[in-house]
Amino acid sequence: MTRILALAVSALMAVAAPSAMAADGKALVESNKCGSCHKMVGPSAQTIAEVMKRKAPDLFYAGSKFNKDWLVKYIQSPTTLRAGGVVYLNSISLNGEADVVKDPPKCASKLSAGDAAAVADYLMTLKDASMKTGVFKPGKVKKARARVVMMKDEACNACHVFPGKGGGISCPTFEGIGERLNPDWMYSFIQDPKHWDPKVWMAKRDFDDATLQLMVNFLMTAD
């Protein structure tokens, strides 16, 4: 009887451990004031005026969006992902012919490795349950075909930087995007950006599944 009880208790503790980490992570998010810049609770900005006040990307669906290993690294030593700032119009000053880009705002997170692991555990619990998972099908990457669709037909490079090819800076770079993001989330975001961010300046297009798979396969290997 006691043996069974002991087993039951150890089983319970094994289950409790990850959520205890996530609870620590939640407390760390609060004590580090991540929420002073990031929305940790939805919904996303509903009006352009709200978007213009956005200091940092939304994190309330971080668990659907990111790869955990990337999160753990990033929140210890953040880099610039959006060279034109979080809200491009707030980061440029119009100076005659050319736009002058001011220093983009940087993420203030400087967590230790241990704290970063706990915070990442917590962030990974923040999911949008309506997102379909298991949608992305890893396949042969057709780089040339993907570039024709993305750079010639759709001009994704008007806003996004393509590794080695340059591009616009009004939104996140595609450099290292495969390491950063969950491919199912990329699929969902490209299919319907406004589901995630109603006032985002990326248009919804009617891509079929094959085109979405082509693009996400390309992005997963873009470095």
Residues that bind ligand HEC (CB under 6 A): 29, 32-34, 36-38, 55-57, 71, 74-75, 80-82, 86, 104-109, 111, 119, 150, 154-156, 158-160, 170-172, 177, 181, 186, 189-190, 200-202, 215, 219
Q: Which residue is listed with tokens 């990329």?
A: 186
Based on CB atoms, which residue is closest to ligand HEC, 19 or 205? 205
Nearest to 188 by CA among 148, 133, 146: 133
Based on CB atoms, which residue is closest to ligand HEC, 101 or 159? 159
Based on CB atoms, which residue is closest to ligand HEC, 4 or 211? 211
Q: How far is CA 42 from the centre of its chain?
A: 15
CA angle in degrees (0–180, nearest 5) for 132-169-141:
50
Based on CB atoms, which residue is closest to ligand HEC, 45 or 219? 219
Nearest to 122 by CA among 190, 59, 187, 56: 59
**Shortest Å distance, C-beta 140 to ligand HEC:** 18
Q: What is the dihedral of CA 73, 172, 31, 90, to 10 degrees?
A: 150
**Shortest Å distance, C-beta 103 to ligand HEC:** 11
